[in-house]
């Protein structure tokens, strides 16, 4: 029993550390996004609070915390309160299976601990998919419980959109699963060790350089579908402000609004982590081994691994902002047609081709 409670304490500490990192990254993201958008539109971005506006996320947080919490008349009160919390929880627990750093084990208090992943379960990627599919509930319930036409329409659109694009996300990763032969994100990342030509986006075989198993089409499908699933521009139909005011969170204010926004950024972070782990080799450097290892600092190699992982994740986060600054919103019918008639066939063809190449040229 003591071992169990000790395990619980260690896990909780790990979860706390990971949550802190995620929340700090989300706060950084809000600043980063406004700044990058500003630069892309030839503006300065936030400059008032702190040097170069660096304290802007804190100011935003304090402002939202002290805003009045309004519950509209006729709203379903319990559901109205539950929906943002549900969205937030779902956005946070997905990080449990993401490997931030190398798969090393430490022994602490007689327990074996993996410091860079909270839970290395053997169905890691399926867990992420399951969590992502639950994310729709917070949005639908928020839209329904607000007792407002705009919210309801936003919620319905979101439901349709999430179901459609979830399918593409699920099919896009099948190629990677075929190549790696496992569902665990830790093992998928490890299968890509040893240089960028082993990353699944390139898909070179261990004995050669020629990219016969390349997953680049799956990668493109995955990234586009991930943007759609996180309701980001150009797929932000659920919150299209020109037609639906603010979509499903029209009636929300104060902290509940902040929960939705935080969950959106956390979801972006989650899909970026998954994309980096599945296609870009996760914490593996684009060259075999690590530099710190070559100069004789093997015990510090994890720093380099984590830096590569962070770099890849931020690349995706920048892509999200870049898309927002560049592309206009799609029309709803265009969104649906694109998802079902363009992305789905590409993802299916990728599965067939990957399976065939694997059959004729096994890894």
Q: How far apart are CA 308 and CA 285, in angstroms?
A: 6
With binding defined as CB under 8 A, does residue 55 bind other proteins? no
Long-range contacts of 17-22, Cβ-Cβ distance < 8 Å, separation of 24 or more: 18/95, 18/96, 18/118, 19/92, 19/95, 22/92, 22/95, 22/266, 22/269
Interface with other proteins (CB under 8 A), residue from 6, 11, 113, 137 = 137
Q: To 10 degrees, the CA torsion angle through 125, 128, 129, 133? A: 170
Interface with other proteins (CB under 8 A), residue from 183, 224, 266, 301 = 183
| Beta carbons within 10 angstroms of residue 348's beta carbon | 13
Least distance to other proteins, CB of residue 343, Å: 15
With binding defined as CB under 8 A, does residue 339 bind other proteins? no
**Among all chains, which residue has been given the structure tokens 């802190």?**
20
Please name every residue paired with 113 in a beta bridge, in sequence order, or none if there are none. Answer: 106
With binding defined as CB under 8 A, does residue 152 bind other proteins? yes
**Phi, psi for 268 (deg, rounded to 5):** -60, -45
Binders in 265-324 for other proteins, by CB under 8 A: none
Calculate the CA 106 to chain-centre distance. 27
Instruction: Give whichever of 179 and 317 is closer to other proteins, judged by the CB atom.
Output: 179
Interface with other proteins (CB under 8 A), residue from 11, 28, 133, 147 = 133
Least distance to other proteins, CB of residue 71, Å: 17
Number of residues lying near other proteins (CB under 8 A) = 31
Interface with other proteins (CB under 8 A), residue from 126, 245, 306, 346 = 126
Interface with other proteins (CB under 8 A), residue from 54, 59, 129, 292 = 129
With binding defined as CB under 8 A, does residue 348 bind other proteins? no
Helix, strand or coil, per DSSP, at residue 85:
helix
With binding defined as CB under 8 A, does residue 144 bind other proteins? yes
The DSSP line for 270-339 is HHHHHHHHHHS-TT--SSSS-HHHHTT-GGGHHHHHHHHHHHHHHHHHHHHHHHHHHPPPPPHHHHHHII
Binders in 213-272 for other proteins, by CB under 8 A: none
Instruction: Give whichever of 162 and 201 is closer to other proteins, judged by the CB atom.
Output: 162
Q: Which residues bind other proteins (CB under 8 A)?
A: 76, 79, 121-123, 126-127, 129-130, 132-134, 136-137, 140-141, 144, 152, 155-156, 159-160, 162-163, 166, 170, 182-183, 333, 336-337
């Amino acid at each position: 029993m003591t071992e169990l409670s000790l395990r619980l304490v260690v896990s909780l500490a790990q979860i706390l550390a990971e949550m802190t990192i995620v929340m700090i990254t989300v706060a950084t993201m809000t600043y980063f996004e406004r700044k990058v958008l500003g630069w892309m539109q030839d503006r300065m971005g936030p400059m008032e609070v702190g040097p170069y506006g660096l304290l802007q996320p804190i100011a935003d947080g304090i402002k939202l915390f002290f805003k009045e919490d309004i519950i509209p008349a006729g709203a379903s009160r319990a559901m109205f309160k539950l929906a943002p919390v549900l969205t937030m929880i779902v956005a946070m627990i997905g990080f449990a299976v993401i490997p931030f750093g190398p798969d090393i084990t430490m022994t602490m208090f007689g327990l074996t601990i993996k410091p860079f992943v909270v839970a290395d379960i053997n169905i890691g990627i399926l867990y992420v998919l399951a969590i992502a599919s639950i994310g729709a509930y917070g949005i639908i319930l928020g839209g329904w419980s607000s007792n407002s036409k705009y919210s309801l329409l936003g919620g319905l659109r979101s439901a349709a959109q999430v179901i459609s694009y979830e399918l593409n996300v699920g099919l896009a990763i099948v190629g990677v699963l075929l190549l790696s032969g496992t569902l665990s994100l830790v093992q998928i990342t490890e299968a890509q060790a040893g240089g960028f030509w082993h990353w699944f986006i390139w898909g070179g075989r261990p004995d050669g350089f020629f990219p016969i198993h390349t997953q680049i089409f799956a990668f493109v499908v995955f990234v586009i579908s991930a943007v759609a699933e996180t309701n980001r521009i150009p797929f932000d139909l659920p919150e299209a402000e020109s037609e639906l005011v603010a979509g499903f969170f029209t009636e929300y204010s104060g902290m509940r609004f902040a929960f939705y926004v935080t969950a959106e950024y956390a979801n972006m972070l989650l899909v970026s982590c998954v994309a980096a782990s599945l296609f870009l080799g996760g914490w593996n450097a684009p060259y075999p081994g690590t530099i710190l290892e070559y100069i004789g600092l093997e015990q510090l190699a994890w720093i380099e691994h984590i830096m590569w992982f962070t770099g890849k994740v931020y690349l995706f986060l920048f892509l999200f902002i870049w898309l927002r600054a560049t592309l206009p919103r799609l029309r709803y019918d265009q969104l649906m047609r694109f998802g079902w008639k363009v992305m789905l066939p590409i993802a299916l063809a990728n599965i067939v081709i990957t399976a065939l190449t694997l059959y004729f040229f096994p890894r």
